[in-house]
């Protein structure tokens, strides 16, 4: 039973436009969420996180939105750049991040120049 | 920048061989993790440690074993490798504080023939 789901395996976006990556979760105990970015042959790199006490967190071009009632979060990248092309993983944790991470299957983002 | 290292980066070996995948971090983190990831799939936690002499099995059953004799070192061992062990193995660590940002190493891509 997959508790964190990223239903879009891939996404293509024109350079300069907004990229929106989605993530759904089923475990109501999750209260801390993270996004990681992964290039081929490298380990994941932390991008941004959000606690369930917030509904939005922003860091430069990256913004994460959390809708607790829908058990849904999204990552917005604006403007999208060619270097953003990578696989993006959503991850969730309980106990405000003190428990183990559960990852989604990832979304491959391709930015078209 | 995270300082977590994994060796080897790539390993191709024959069935039945014993192998050890190395993971070291220089950040003094108490918590360390091993994940297994197949292409297009989520990261599955196979082992974790919350400190020296502490090791636990993760969510995904694995025939590998780990040890934590020193804070900075968390090696993973397969006593007898099989083709089903072919995968990417990712090591991660984090501090014991409230932030659950895990830092990942570059990974080891293991192929068992």
Is the pLDDT at B21 greater than 60? The verdict is: yes
Do B42 and A4 make contact, defined as CB atoms within 8 angstroms?
yes
Chain B partners within 8 Å of A9 (Cβ): 40
pLDDT tens per residue across span B84-99: 999 999 999 998 666 6
Distance, in Å, from the CA atom of A29 to the CA atom of B41, rounded to the nearest integer, reads 23
Chain B partners within 8 Å of A105 (Cβ): 40-42
| A93 φ/ψ sector (left φ>0, alpha ψ -120 to 50, else beta) | beta
Neighbours of A49 (CB within 10 A): 20
- A37 class by beta-carbon count within 10 Å (0-12 exposed, 13-18 middle, 19+ buried): buried
Residues of chain A with pLDDT under 70: 97
**Distance of residue B37 Cα from the nearest chain A Cα, in angstroms:** 10
Which residue is closest to A6 within chain B, CA to CA? Answer: B42
Is the pLDDT at B81 greater than 80? The verdict is: yes
Beta strands B87-94 and B103-104, pairing class: antiparallel
Do A34 and B48 make contact, defined as CB atoms within 8 angstroms?
no
Is the pLDDT at B1 greater than 80? The verdict is: no
Which residues on neighbouring strands pair with residue A64, listed in sequence order?
A57, A75
pLDDT tens per residue across span B23-79: 999 999 999 999 999 988 889 999 999 999 999 998 887 889 999 999 999 999 999
Choose between B105 and B62: higher pLDDT: B105
Do B42 and A9 make contact, defined as CB atoms within 8 angstroms?
no
User: In this predicted structure, what is the pLDDT of residue A65?
Assistant: 98
Do A103 and B59 make contact, defined as CB atoms within 8 angstroms?
no
Do B100 and A93 make contact, defined as CB atoms within 8 angstroms?
yes
Structure tokens at B99: 């932030």
Would you say the C-alpha torsion A106, A112, B2, B6 has a positive or negative sign? positive
Rg over alpha carbons for chain A, rounded to the nearest Å, is: 13
Neighbours of A87 (CB within 10 A): 19
Distance, in Å, from the CA atom of A10 to the CA atom of A26, rounded to the nearest integer, reads 22
User: In this predicted structure, what is the pLDDT of residue A95?
Assistant: 77
Q: Which residues contact B85 (CB under 8 A, 6 or more apart)?
A: B63, B64, B78, B110, B112
């Amino acid at each position: 039973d997959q508790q964190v789901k990223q239903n879009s395996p891939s996404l293509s976006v024109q350079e300069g436009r907004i990229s929106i990556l989605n993530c759904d979760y089923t475990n109501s105990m999750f209260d801390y969420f993270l996004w990681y970015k992964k290039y081929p042959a490298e380990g994941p790199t932390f991008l941004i996180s959000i606690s369930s006490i917030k509904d939005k967190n922003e860091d430069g071009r990256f913004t994460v939105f959390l809708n607790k009632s829908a058990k849904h979060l999204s990552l917005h990248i604006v403007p999208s750049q060619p270097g953003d092309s990578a696989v993006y993983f959503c991850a969730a944790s309980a106990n405000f991040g003190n428990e183990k991470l559960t990852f989604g299957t990832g979304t491959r983002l391709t930015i078209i120049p | 920048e995270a300082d977590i290292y994994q060796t080897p980066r790539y390993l191709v070996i024959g069935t039945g061989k014993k192998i050890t995948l190395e993971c070291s971090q220089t950040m003094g983190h108490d918590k360390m993790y091993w994940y297994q990831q197949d292409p297009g799939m989520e990261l599955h936690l196979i082992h974790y440690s919350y400190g020296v002499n502490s090791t636990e099995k993760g969510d995904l059953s694995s025939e590998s074993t780990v040890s934590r004799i020193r804070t900075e070192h968390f090696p993973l061992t397969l006593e007898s490798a099989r083709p089903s062990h072919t995968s990417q193995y990712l090591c991660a660590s984090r501090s014991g504080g409230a932030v659950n940002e895990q830092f990942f190493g570059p990974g080891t891509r293991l192929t068992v023939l």
